[in-house]
């Protein structure tokens, strides 16, 4: 089992490098980003997953590529996880589907073999009926998110992709399927389960919460995973096999890597880009006395937080000069100054949120849940996470992916919307272990 430690230079080192896979060949066209060897090893966790679960021997009888199809594909976390576990040549990516332009560009650049469709509610599923081994979809979470002020839940128009995915599974008849969604869906889980059972009676269904911290990454991202295995291809009890597979994996990843491992090195060319060196315009950064009614809302919020926490104004300036070099707005700059006064040990915070409800983490705590619009300020680095780093933290091997095909804003959205690579790899491992591969191998496709 790999053990993480700091070497004499303060760099993170892995004790047993032999446990990690050999450096992955670049999968695609140039565009991947240079990373440290340590980061590459951490991202190339796939062989550890395969070894821990005995998947290599389990899949041997298949004797062909695994046929995989994705809906609501986004950054294609499931395909990326499968490539990392079994190698690109073991997977046939039949088709992908996404409505948004950014993900479409990313998919075209990175997964050119897959046919690309644009709407989960109306694409030509007939073409792939009975041809799919694994169907994977992370249907949009808008209808189920707790951050949303109002939702009609399953009756909400934003929930339609969920029904689309279920209907596509019904038509495609894949041997197994994995779907994912946010924890907010728990509020309508009874109805969700009823719908799955009613529409997909040919499937064993098991619903489980998974998070990256179970698999060696200190990041908060609990998500529901819906595991489905077609009864005629099931090798045993889905729940029991899942429990055993997860136990095997968790044993392998008893030690969590700090999230800082997945930041770009300080001297990385992307961080010396002129955008990052931008100096703040001359703006009013002062913490004023009680704001006047016409002043922006954030000043009132900041004032109220200061009053509530008895913040002494004269202490606020401390780090502001350094921050001003990189932050565009007085709002963010003040928020950081006040935060430092209230909570001296904070390490990272989400500047996209107002100060009174800003997610903040301290030393050693797991990184907060990454969202598409989150603006994560890393105190030690005195900068915000790049969109590219959101993908890195989500476990994407950006050194072998084409990440220059879209803007950093699109990468930020892809990373914030994606499944974390490790839990989805675990979910896929569970359904694969539950499949009777000898029987699947006899199918003529
Ligand atoms: C939660 S993200 C999925 C992320 C993806 N599973 C991953 O792990 O990278 C949902 C995706 O569904 C896409 N989407 C939303 N409505 C859609 C629709 N009607 N048809 C296809 N894709 C849709 C969004 O653009 C978004 O990329």
String of DSSP letters for 148-199: -S---GGGSGGGHHHHHHHHHHHHH--SEEEEEE-GGGGGGHHHHHHHHHHH
Sequence-distant (≥ 6) Cβ neighbours of residue 244 within 8 angstroms: 433
Which tens digit of pLDDT belongs to each residue from 123-136?
Answer: 989 999 999 999 99
Q: Whose CA is nearest to atom 13 of ligand 1?
A: 72
pLDDT value of position 100: 98
**Structural domains in the chain plus CATH codes:** 22-260+402-441 (3.40.50.150), 265-385 (no CATH)
Which tens digit of pLDDT belongs to each residue from 315-372?
Answer: 776 666 777 777 778 899 889 989 988 998 999 999 999 999 999 999 999 999 999 9
pLDDT band of residue 8 (cuts 50, 70, 90) is low
**Is 419's C-beta closer than 6 angstroms to any atom of ligand 1?**
yes
Q: Quote the CA–CA distance of 158 and 26 in Å, as a whole number.
A: 37
Structure tokens at 45: 């966790």
Structure tokens at 318: 């401390």
Cα 98 to averaged position of ligand 1 atoms, centre (Å): 5
HEC readout, 372-411: CCCCEEECCCCEECCHHHHHHHCCCCCCCCCCCCCCHHHH
Cα 284 to averaged position of ligand 1 atoms, centre (Å): 40
Cα 357 to averaged position of ligand 1 atoms, centre (Å): 27
pLDDT higher than threshold 90 for residue 148: no
Edge to edge, what strands does the sheet with 360-362 contain? 360-362, 346-350, 376-378, 383-384
Cα 338 to averaged position of ligand 1 atoms, centre (Å): 37
Contact 71, 119 (CB under 8 A): no
Cα 158 to averaged position of ligand 1 atoms, centre (Å): 11
pTM (predicted TM-score): 0.91
**Is 417's C-beta closer than 6 angstroms to any atom of ligand 1?**
yes
* Average pLDDT estimate for 366-393: 93
**Which atom of ligand 1 lies nearest, measured to the CA of 424?**
8
**Is 330's C-beta closer than 6 angstroms to any atom of ligand 1?**
no
Cα 73 to averaged position of ligand 1 atoms, centre (Å): 5
**Is 119's C-beta closer than 6 angstroms to any atom of ligand 1?**
yes
Q: Above pLDDT 90, what percent of the chain?
A: 66
Q: DSSP 3-state assignment of 417?
A: helix
């Amino acid at each position: 089992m790999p053990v993480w430690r700091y070497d004499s230079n303060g760099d993170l080192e892995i004790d047993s490098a032999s446990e990690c896979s050999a450096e992955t060949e670049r999968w695609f066209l140039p565009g991947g980003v240079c990373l440290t060897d340590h980061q590459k090893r951490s991202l190339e966790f796939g062989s550890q997953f395969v070894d821990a679960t005995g998947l290599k021997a389990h899949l041997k009888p298949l004797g062909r590529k695994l046929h995989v199809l994705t809906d609501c594909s986004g950054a294609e976390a499931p395909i990326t996880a499968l490539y990392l576990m079994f190698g690109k040549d073991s997977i046939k990516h039949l088709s992908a589907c996404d409505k948004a332009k950014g993900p479409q560009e990313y998919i075209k650049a990175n997964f050119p073999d897959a046919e690309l469709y644009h709407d989960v509610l109306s694409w030509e599923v007939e073409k792939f009926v009975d041809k799919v081994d694994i169907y994977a979809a992370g249907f949009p979470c808008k209808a189920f998110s707790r951050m949303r002020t109002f939702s009609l839940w399953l009756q909400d128009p934003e929930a339609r992709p969920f029904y689309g995915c279920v209907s596509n599974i019904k038509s495609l008849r894949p041997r197994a399927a994995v779907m994912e969604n946010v924890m907010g869906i728990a509020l309508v889980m009874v109805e969700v389960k009823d719908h799955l059972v009613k529409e997909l009676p040919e499937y064993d269904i098991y619903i489980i919460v998974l998070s990256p911290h179970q698999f060696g990454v200190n990041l908060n991202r609990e998500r529901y995973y819906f595991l489905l295995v077609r009864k005629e291809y099931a090798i045993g009890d889905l729940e029991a096999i899942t429990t055993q597979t997860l136990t095997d994996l968790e044993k392998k990843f008893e030690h969590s890597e700090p999230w800082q491992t997945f930041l770009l090195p300080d001297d990385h060319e992307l961080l010396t880009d002129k955008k990052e060196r931008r100096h703040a315009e001359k703006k009013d950064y002062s913490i004023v006395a009680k704001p006047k009614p016409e002043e922006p809302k954030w000043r009132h919020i900041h004032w109220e937080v200061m009053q509530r926490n008895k913040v002494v104004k004269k202490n606020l300036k401390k780090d502001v000069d350094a921050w001003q070099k990189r932050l565009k707005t007085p709002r963010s700059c003040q928020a950081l100054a006040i935060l430092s006064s209230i909570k001296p040990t904070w390490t990272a915070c989400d500047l996209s949120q107002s100060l009174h409800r800003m997610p903040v983490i301290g030393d050693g705590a797991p990184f907060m849940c990454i969202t598409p619009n989150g603006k994560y300020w890393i105190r030690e680095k005195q900068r915000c996470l790049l969109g590219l780093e959101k993908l890195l933290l989500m476990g994407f091997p950006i050194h072998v992916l084409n990440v220059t095909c879209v803007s950093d804003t699109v990468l930020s959205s892809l990373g914030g919307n994606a499944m974390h690579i490790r839990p989805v790899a675990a979910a896929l491992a569970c359904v694969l272990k539950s499949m009777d591969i000898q029987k699947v191998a006899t199918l003529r496709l």
